[in-house]
Chain A
Amino acid sequence: MKEIIQMIGVLSLISGVCALALSGFRAATAERIEDQILQNVQGPKVKLVLDKADNDIINDRKTISVNGEDVLLFIGKKGAEPWAIAYESTGGGFGGDIKVMVGYDIGNDTLTGIQIISHKETPGIGSKIADDQFTKFFKGLTTSTKFTTKPQGGDVDAISGATYSARGVCEAIRNSVEIYPQVKKQMQSQ
């Protein structure tokens, strides 16, 4: 009996101390890890979307709340003036969610560009949505554009063989455009 208690005690103690150490370490590094993921995963895409900005976009970010959901907002500046904003949105593709970073010029309400953050589309077919050829089409479109594919009565060229993937991107952009007025208002009021 004494042996069993000793076993349980020692193992629990070790596990407890380890868990404590880990949670401490996690608390110490969490912020930096988040920053690293931003720099390495979303960062390059954000910089492509807001290519004319001359500030450190990753540092000039803030979280705002739209319809009860948090939106991570990247702000691109020219000089000291905010020039454009970008945030991520999601649409359903053929193989899973497609995450798209959409940038807006807040001066004239046009898209500065889009970039695909992540997708699970078929390599070689649906994955064409991440190619420049597809994404550059959106550059300079106004927010009042009908973001659906042409076969569905919209303004966007579909990709042959990748109908669902292109629709997914359009859906993500529509979701993004939908909250754009609120995002813009909140950003300017702060």
Chain B
Amino acid sequence: MSIFKEFTKGLWQELPPFRLVLGLCPVLAVTKSATNGLGMGLAVIFVLTWSNILVSALRKVIPRKVRIASYIVIIATFVVIVEMATQAFFYPVYEALGIFIPLIVVNCVILGRAEAFASKNGVVASALDGLGIGAGFTMSLVVLGGLRELIGAGTLFDVEIMSAAYRSHSFSFMLEAPGAFICLGVLLAIMNAVSAPSSS
């Protein structure tokens, strides 16, 4: 497998929320708007790439028995860095994402990649893997957030898309928690339907 493939696999074959169905908590909770989805996605890309690099670099040093603890320490460090950075430079995003930035620590996509990929592969491959999976995660969040924002509020990235008449009577069900589940379910169904022939 070429090294480039490590990057592209995260965009479709192993697209985290839809193909691996991992890390659904932030996926459902923060995707009230495309902007929030993008902010969350970028935070995850940063944490995922750097934790993958570090875990991969230290994979021969870290004893097997304490590896999970070590990964968590590394991941938590980057999460706190992201939290402080968003607070310092993107305060509105920090307010919108709230508790979900600290909760990136327990996002199973990140620990999953550290355990399943970075601890077994080289630094470059791990970095590309982190970037790819992170990009896929971001893409999913933006698509889901964009869809929910468009139907639920009539805007996209806070730009008013729908007519004023629609926006004042928008189908805000999509912004509620049940709307998130239904939207995710429908997207999953579409993805499975699209890729069904190739997988059989």
- A residues with a Cβ closer than 8 A to B are 3, 6-7, 10-11, 14-15, 18, 21-22, 25-26, 29, 32-33, 36-37, 39-40
Contact = CB atoms under 8 A, between A and B. Distances in A.
Best-surrounded residue of B65, B74, B88 (most CB of chain A within 10 A)? B88
Given A32-B89, A40-B95, A14 B84 contact: no
B129 to A, nearest CB: 21
Given A15-B73, A18-B74, A25-B81, A10 B62 contact: yes
B193 interface: no
Given A29-B87, A29-B88, 17 more contacts: A7-B63, A7-B65, A7-B66, A10-B63, A10-B70, A11-B66, A11-B73, A14-B62, A18-B74, A21-B81, A22-B77, A22-B80, A22-B81, A29-B85, A32-B88, A33-B87, A37-B91
Contacts of A11: 66, 69-70, 73
Contacts of A39: 91
A7 B88 CA distance: 36
Contact of B87 (A10, A15, A21, A36): A36
Contact of A26 (B73, B84, B95): B84
A33 B61 CA distance: 36
Contacts of B73: 11, 14-15, 18
A29 B82 CA distance: 11
The 6 closest A-B pairs by CB, nearest first: A18-B77, A32-B88, A29-B88, A36-B91, A7-B63, A33-B88
